[in-house]
Amino acid sequence: MNIKEVQQNIEILKNKAESYFPSAKEACGNKEDDHGWPITTSGVNHYWDELPDKLKANSLETQKLTLKTISLILPLLQASPILDKSDEKDIGLCAKRMRSALKLRKYKSWEIEVLHDEGSVLGVSPPGQSEDEPDHPDDASQTFFNCLEQLEGMAQLIEVAPDQISDGLISKNPNLHQSYRPNTAFVMMPIDSNNPELEDVYEVYKDCFRKFGIEAIRADDIEHEDVITKKIIEEIKTSEFLLGDLTNERPSVYYEIGYAHSLGRRVILYRKKNTSIHFDLAAYNCPEYKNMKELKKLLLKRLEDTTNRKPNNS
């Protein structure tokens, strides 16, 4: 994957934002009245609703380019010997903040908080996130450009050691489990014996991996005498390749992908056309497929690029 494409996209984003936010400010007016008092806002879309349709379309286009750029950075970041899991978390926050800023909303997130009084634990306030407040174009612009500067810095760090970026998907990934098994893949996808199409999808995945000498399995292929969840966790830890299919939006699949990401593992993602992506995975590259032929073409190309090998067509 070419770091130059990332850098070019960052420059395009900069140009788009330099045009969008001043125009948005002109459409929305000042955030203070003539006496310096903040203007009262009403509703999360207070500023967004003031934009003409053309500016809204520009925002949506820039949002898509932002997410695409971040999806290009992520695999490079995960393979980099310089950047680590904390950088991956930062880039996820950047994606959410930039997207909210382009919608003229404030993005907020908070960590888990333990509530206590004089040494006694009273309860736990869970972590969370929101974008339910409007944000004036001036403030939104500052948020966007701060994040863009952060992305630019990461791209520069990745470029420092281009020869260290993996010539195979996982071969130099520091987040691999010590007992990982080369040429293995674990497929995280919905399983339903009454849905023949899902079985066809799984056969495509297995066949594509097989062409690169990789054995792919999913949860129902595991021989086990223990709790199945433990076996799945072990597969996620030790398989060289991980693939997640978000079709049907199954919570178990999201859980498994989330666990893989918590380990710093890279997951190849796909989804059937018109499948929605939930918020936390919106920044990740997840191509759609219309049918088995298109899915096969997408995955073969991805594996060829990441393994630097040609598929065996026999």
The predicted-structure confidence for 221-256, as pLDDT tens digits, reads as follows: 876 555 557 888 889 999 999 999 999 999 889 989
What total of structural domains would you count in the chain?
Answer: 2
One domain, residues 150 and 14:
yes
pLDDT above 90 covers what percent of the chain? 49
Residues 17 and 156 grouped into a single domain? yes
Q: What is the pLDDT of residue 221?
A: 82
Q: Which residue has the higher pLDDT, 35 or 131?
A: 131
Of residues 20 and 123, which shows the higher confidence score? 20
Confidence of residue 119 (pLDDT cuts 50, 70, 90): low
- Do 197 and 299 fall within a single domain? yes
Residue 169's pLDDT is 43
The model's confidence at residue 82, banded by pLDDT at 50, 70 and 90, is: low
Residue 77 has pLDDT above 70, yes or no: yes
- What are the E-state strand segments in 89-147? 105-110, 113-117, 120-125, 128-134
Are 37 and 135 members of one domain?
A: yes
d(CA 237, CA 191): 21
Beta-ladder partners of 241: 185
pLDDT of amino acid 266: 86
The structure tokens 């806002």 sit at 41
Residue 147: domain span? 3-114+129-164
For residue 121, is pLDDT > 80?
A: no
Position 13 in a domain: yes
One domain for residues 192 and 137: no
CB 313 within 8 A of CB 212: no
Q: Do the domain assignments include residue 205? A: yes
Q: Is the pLDDT reported for residue 167 higher than 70?
A: no
Tokens of 7: 């850098």
Angle between helices 53-79 and 85-102 in degrees, nearest 10: 180
- With 0.85 as the threshold, say if the pTM is over it: no
- The CATH number assigned to the domain holding 203 equals 3.40.50.450
Least-confidence region, from 23-37, 56-70, 185-199: 23-37
Predicted confidence at residue 56, as pLDDT, reads 96
Confidence of residue 81 (pLDDT cuts 50, 70, 90): low
Q: pLDDT at position 282, please?
A: 77
Check whether 63 has a pLDDT greater than 80: yes
Q: Which residue has the higher pLDDT, 140 or 155?
A: 140
pLDDT at 278: 82
Average the pLDDT over each of 62-66, 249-253, 267-271 and give the range with the smallest value.
249-253
Residues 148 and 193 reside in one and the same domain: no
The yes-or-no verdict on residue 65 having pLDDT over 50 is yes
Domain annotation covers residue 175: no
Please determine, for residue 68, whether its predicted confidence score (pLDDT) is greater than 50: yes
The pLDDT value recorded for residue 166 is 39
Question: In this structure, are 239 and 274 located in the same domain?
Answer: yes
The pLDDT score that the predictor gives to residue 117 is 59
Is 171 within the bounds of a domain? no
300, part of any domain:
yes
- 74 or 146: which leads in pLDDT: 146
What are the tens digits of pLDDT across the range 181-227? 889 999 999 998 888 999 999 999 999 999 999 999 998 887 655 55
CA atoms within 13 A on the CB side of 265: 27
Q: What is the DSSP code (8-state) at residue 32? A: B
* 262 has a pLDDT exceeding 90: no
Determine the average pLDDT of the residues in 75-88. Answer: 74
Q: Which residues have C-beta within 8 Å of that of residue 274, sequence separation ≥ 6?
A: 288
pLDDT at 21 over 70: yes
Residue at 122 is within a domain: no
For the beta carbon of residue 35, count every other beta carbon within 10 angstroms.
5
**Mean of the per-residue pLDDT values for the chain?**
84
27 & 157 share domain: yes
**Both 187 and 92 in a single domain?**
no
Q: Are strands 288-289 and 268-272 parallel, antiparallel or unpaired?
A: parallel
Does any domain span residue 124? no
177 vs 302, which has greater pLDDT? 302
141 with 212, same domain? no
241 part of a folded domain: yes
pLDDT for residue 220: 86
Residues 17 and 135 in one domain: yes
Let me know whether 156 and 205 are in one domain: no
